[in-house]
């Protein structure tokens, strides 16, 4: 039976902007009313003259099943008996201007496969989750003092059957999870899976915010994918796009004939550089829609976090706009105050409803306290992508090594602000597309040097404070930039150099996960100190990573030139014997083998601000990890 009192209360909360589970009220729901099974439809369309549910079941005739307007705020509802899961439908909306338009359901859980655009009735009941152990473990997980290495993944171009024909989510589970598990990643991050009409938008221009894209299967198929990830101790993060939506006619744009989900003011609504529309963050019902949507993905699909796309485009009224295309806020600033308030409310709601999940901001400016709690003035995310580090490092690595000494600050500057936020170091899809070249092909030099540079870069990335993210293909040295309509160049693994760098990534992850110094104090200044950041002439730098236990301390030495140095002095913080437990220059990684095979005894003579030093071989275009111990925990690593 339908609880009318509960529905009335939910309707009140929806219009107040406080209904965190609005998807349980609006949309299409398989229910029983007065003993009759059927589907209840509810939609928000305050400016419409009439709304009907249409589909094959009534020959798309809007006169058959007209909806009742429940209140002056524009909720429409109808119960249609005998309809069931799988019914294809749309809303026929008669606007105040007398125009009829067909719209997909904003709250639909499923949609037709593109190019078809209708919604599909789908029940979220019935799937039996098998991840209780993972979910229980997640409750007690320290998200900040744990290893986090994220494999960013676009399902359709990881592997496909042929162009624009894809595997099912269940098939991807069988293929992707063993691969990611073997490499040692802790998380998968998926590009958006909300329904979208155009493949090449990669999901960033959505029409169905509650519908898992039908390209790869059903909502339950996707639940299986997540379930299997958890079975193998892999977390799942989904890219989520609350900043804008596409203008396709069947979507949210002018849903009831007027600006509804978007701002009425075109200077606020239009995202000119993307050809999309901005949500009206001041509107209560839009807040209920978006906050509920974030909770929906986390709750109904057991996701472990959301990476929130294009946060800067939400925060700033002038983002991507020329003079005259935007207006100052009420205080004369360029901040979108409504969006700021929405973001804070979003994060507060998430942590109340789904504690201990990841909320990661892709925020590309110097907005302060992005990853700080709202009660101290922050935006409330728990992580921020470090776009500054990414831009500086890629610019540095693309230079010929002979020029790097003139730009040494690019690899050291990030430590000036490394603890101002909780950072993720991202090398994402955006860096290997649209003519930017693949990660491997960004690297200068001959064939050998390209791979050596890539290994050095990745090793430095994993030694640097902050969690890690790498886009698919980077792990085996994809030569071509990302081809979003084709699968990865898996045939490259027939070649030694590409197999070697895949093995390098596997061993680097083993080192990373086994060494608390590389992640335990990522967000604490006690976790890092420089030994020598100043040797720009040789493009060499050295530093220490600490954990809470001094026994886990690591010394890291990086050389970003192809020169080899023997007997090079490195100041070390402790006396005793040091052993190189990992080097990116190992022969089986494709390196030159200029390693420190024997133990290195610290010499009691001050150097580089330390009371003692070692003399070591510095391999070319490489990073070396050293540990002071009489019995090295890392002896099992391939060196």
- Cite the active site residues: 309, 362
Q: Are 615 and 567 in contact (CB under 8 A)?
A: yes
d(CA 316, CA 312): 6
What residues contact 533, with CB distance under 8 A and at least 6 apart?
412, 415, 541, 543
The structure tokens 């070319």 sit at: 620
Of 164, 162, 163, 160, nearest to 176 by C-alpha is: 160
Burial per residue of 593-618, b for 16 or more beta-carbon CB atoms within 10 angstroms, e otherwise? ebbbeeebebeeeebbebebbbebbb
- Burial label for 144, CB within 10 Å (0-12, 13-18, 19+), is middle
Q: Which residues pair with 612 in a beta bridge?
A: 572
Q: Are 427 and 457 in contact (CB under 8 A)?
A: no
The pairing of beta strand 75-81 with beta strand 88-94: unpaired
d(CA 241, CA 306): 10
CA 548 to centroid of chain Cα atoms: 28
Give Cα separations from 187 to 28, 232, 328, 466, 517 (angstroms): 33, 11, 40, 15, 20
The structure tokens 């604490």 sit at: 524
The pairing of beta strand 119-120 with beta strand 100-103: unpaired
d(CA 383, CA 506): 25
| DSSP per-residue string spanning 486-502 | S---GGGGGSHHHHHHH
| DSSP per-residue string spanning 130-163 | --HHHHHHHHT--SSSS--EEEEE-HHHHS-SBT
Q: In what order do the strands lie in the sheet with 540-545?
A: 528-532, 540-545, 554-559, 622-628, 577-583, 600-601
Q: Which two tokens stand for residue 453?
A: 């540079």
Of 608, 466, 605, nearest to 534 by C-alpha is: 608
Q: Which two tokens stand for residue 583?
A: 């080097």
d(CA 410, CA 418): 13
The structure tokens 């939400």 sit at: 314
- CB-facing half-sphere around the CA of 342: CA atoms within 13 A: 27
SS3 158: helix
Q: Which two tokens stand for residue 518?
A: 């590389």
């Amino acid at each position: 039976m339908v609880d009318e009192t509960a529905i009335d209360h939910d309707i009140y909360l929806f219009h107040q902007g406080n209904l965190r589970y609005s998807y349980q009220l609006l949309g299409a729901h398989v229910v029983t009313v007065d003993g009759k099974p059927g589907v209840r439809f509810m939609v928000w369309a305050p400016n419409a003259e009439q709304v009907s549910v249409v589909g094959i079941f009534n020959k798309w005739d809007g006169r058959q099943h007209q909806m009742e307007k429940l209140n002056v705020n524009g909720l429409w509802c109808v119960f249609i008996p005998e309809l069931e899961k799988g019914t294809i439908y749309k809303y026929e909306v008669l606007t105040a201007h007398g125009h009829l338009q067909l719209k997909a359901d904003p709250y639909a859980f499923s949609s037709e496969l593109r190019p078809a655009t209708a919604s599909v009735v789908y029940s979220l009941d019935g799937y039996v989750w098998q991840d209780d152990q993972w979910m229980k473990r997640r409750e007690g997980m320290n998200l900040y003092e744990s290893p986090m290495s994220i494999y960013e993944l676009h399902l359709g171009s990881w592997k496909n059957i042929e162009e624009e024909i894809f595997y099912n989510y269940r098939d991807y589970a069988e293929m992707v999870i063993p691969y990611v598990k073997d490499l040692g990643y802790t998380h998968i991050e998926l590009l958006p899976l909300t329904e979208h009409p155009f493949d090449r938008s990669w999901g960033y221009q959505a029409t169905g915010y509650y519908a898992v894209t039908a390209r790869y299967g059903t909502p339950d198929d996707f639940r299986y994918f997540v379930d299997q990830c958890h079975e193998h101790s892999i977390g799942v993060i989904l890219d989520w796009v609350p900043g804008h939506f596409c203008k396709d006619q069947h979507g949210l744009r002018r849903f009831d004939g007027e600006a509804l989900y978007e701002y009425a003011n075109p200077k606020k609504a239009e995202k000119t550089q993307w050809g999309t529309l901005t949500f009206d963050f001041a509107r209560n019902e839009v807040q209920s829609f978006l906050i509920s949507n974030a909770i929906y993905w986390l709750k109904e699909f057991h996701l472990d976090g959301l990476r929130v796309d294009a946060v800067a485009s939400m925060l700033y009224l002038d983002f991507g706009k020329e003079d005259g295309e935007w207006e100052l806020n009420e205080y004369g600033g360029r901040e979108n105050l409504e969006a700021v308030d929405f973001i804070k409310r979003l994060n507060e709601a998430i942590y109340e409803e789904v504690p201990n999940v990841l909320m990661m901001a892709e925020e590309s400016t110097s907005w302060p306290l992005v990853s700080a709690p709202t009660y101290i003035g922050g935006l409330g995310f728990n992580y921020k992508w470090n776009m500054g580090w990414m831009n500086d490092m890629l610019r540095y690595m693309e230079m010929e090594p002979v020029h790097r000494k003139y730009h040494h600050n690019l690899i050291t500057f990030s430590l000036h602000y490394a603890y101002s936020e909780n950072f993720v170091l991202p090398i994402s899809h955006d860096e290997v597309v649209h003519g930017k070249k693949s990660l491997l092909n960004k690297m200068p030099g001959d064939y050998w040097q390209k791979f050596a540079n890539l290994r050095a870069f990745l090793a430095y990335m994993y030694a640097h404070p902050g969690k890690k993210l790498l886009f698919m293909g980077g792990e085996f040295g994809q030569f071509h930039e990302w081809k979003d309509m084709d699968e990865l160049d898996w045939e490259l693994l027939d070649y030694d150099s590409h197999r070697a760098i895949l093995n390098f990534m596997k061993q680097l992850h083993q080192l990373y996960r086994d060494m608390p110094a590389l992640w335990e104090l990522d967000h604490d200044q006690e976790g890092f100190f420089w030994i020598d950041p100043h040797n720009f002439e040789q493009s060499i730098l050295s530093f220490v990573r600490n954990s809470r236990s001094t026994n886990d301390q690591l010394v890291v030495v990086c050389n970003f030139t192809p020169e080899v140095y023997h007997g090079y002095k490195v100041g070390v913080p402790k006396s005793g014997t040091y052993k190189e437990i990992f080097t990116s220059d190992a022969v089986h990684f494709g390196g030159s083998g200029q390693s420190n095979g024997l133990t290195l005894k610290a010499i009691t003579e001050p150097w580089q601000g330390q009371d003692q030093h070692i003399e070591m071989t510095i391999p070319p275009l490489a990073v070396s990890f050293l540990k002071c111990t009489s019995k090295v925990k890392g002896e099992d690593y391939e060196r």
